[in-house]
Amino acid sequence: MLHGVKNLIFDLGGVIINLDTHRTVTAFARLAGSSTAEIQSLMASPFFLEYEKGLISDAAFRDAVRLALHAEVADAEIDAAWNAMLLDIPDAKFELLRALAPDFNIFLLSNTNEIHLRCFNQQVAQRTGAPSLAPFFRKTYYSHYLHMRKPDVAIYDFVLRDAGLHAPDTLFLDDNEHNLRGAEQIGIRTFHVPHPDAIFDLFKSVPGSGRSAN
């Protein structure tokens, strides 16, 4: 799998950071006084994708959430519910990224948004002292800054061109198989991450990349 690979592009959620999207569904249901099934349906609303593409502001997103939930709730309550899905980044993941850096060019490509970005960067600062995830990668690419999102081919093409990468030398890791298909369309090699710890097995031959206690 790693033979000939020079560049690694990591997804964030479900690969580096642990996720539980149901926590956000439950939190929104609590704010709205409605069922989780109703909230699941609302989560397919176009404004969520617009927010991931940076097409609407934080304020517009919060207003859209209030309208969808039919609830007059404070910004902080919306942010807390929205961030509820973000769990921890295990120390072993930071150790793995440090171990990979001497042998690979490491990048991050995530469908995310400004509220989540502030939340996980705060967690990174608390766990590592680094101000954000940026020091752990050659470059970080976030959908809301690029106004594109996975699995659209355009976002993978942009990353290749911006970073000066060759697709056959590049391995993209994501927990969403649909996202892998988009990368494969332009020749990027892919690895499906069925659970967050799967990356430890992939890189077990790299010195210092073994999982350690958190």
- pLDDT level of residue 210 (50, 70, 90 thresholds): low
CB 159 within 8 A of CB 147: no
Domain of 100, CATH number, reads 3.40.50.1000
22-42-79 Cα angle (round to 5): 60
70 domain residue, yes or no: yes
What are the CA-CA distances from residue 169 to residues 9, 81, 100, 141, 155 (Å)? 11, 39, 15, 19, 17
Question: Domains in the chain: how many in total?
Answer: 2
Q: Residue 129, class by beta-carbon neighbours within 10 Å (0-12 exposed, 13-18 middle, 19+ buried)?
A: exposed
Each residue of 33-68: pLDDT tens digit? 999 999 999 999 999 999 999 999 999 999 999 999
Show which of 35, 59, 83 is a domain's final residue.
83
* CA atoms of 75 and 63, how far apart (whole Å): 9
Domain of 40, CATH number, reads 1.10.150.240
Would you state the structure tokens that stand for residue 27, as one six-digit string? Answer: 């939190």
pLDDT at 213: 39
Backbone φ and ψ for 151, nearest 5 degrees, come out as -95, 20
Query: Are residues 159 and 198 part of one domain?
Result: yes
Residue 151: which domain range? 7-18+88-202
Average pLDDT (171-186) is 97
pLDDT at 37: 95
1 domain residue, yes or no: no
Count helices and strands (H / E) in the chain: 11, 5
CB 183 within 8 A of CB 190: yes
pLDDT beyond 60 at 145:
yes
214 domain residue, yes or no: no
Query: Are residues 92 and 65 part of one domain?
Result: no
Query: Are residues 111 and 12 part of one domain?
Result: yes
pLDDT at 188: 98
The percentage of the chain sitting over the pLDDT mark of 70, rounded to a whole number, equals 98
pLDDT at 40: 93
Average pLDDT (156-174) is 98
Query: Are residues 38 and 124 part of one domain?
Result: no
Each residue of 75-131: pLDDT tens digit? 999 999 999 999 999 999 999 999 999 999 999 999 999 999 999 999 999 999 999
Q: Which amino acid is at 31?
A: L
Query: Are residues 92 and 74 part of one domain?
Result: no
Helix (H) or strand (E) run with residue 201 in it: helix 198-202
- pLDDT level of residue 212 (50, 70, 90 thresholds): very low
- Tokens 């927010």 belong to 51
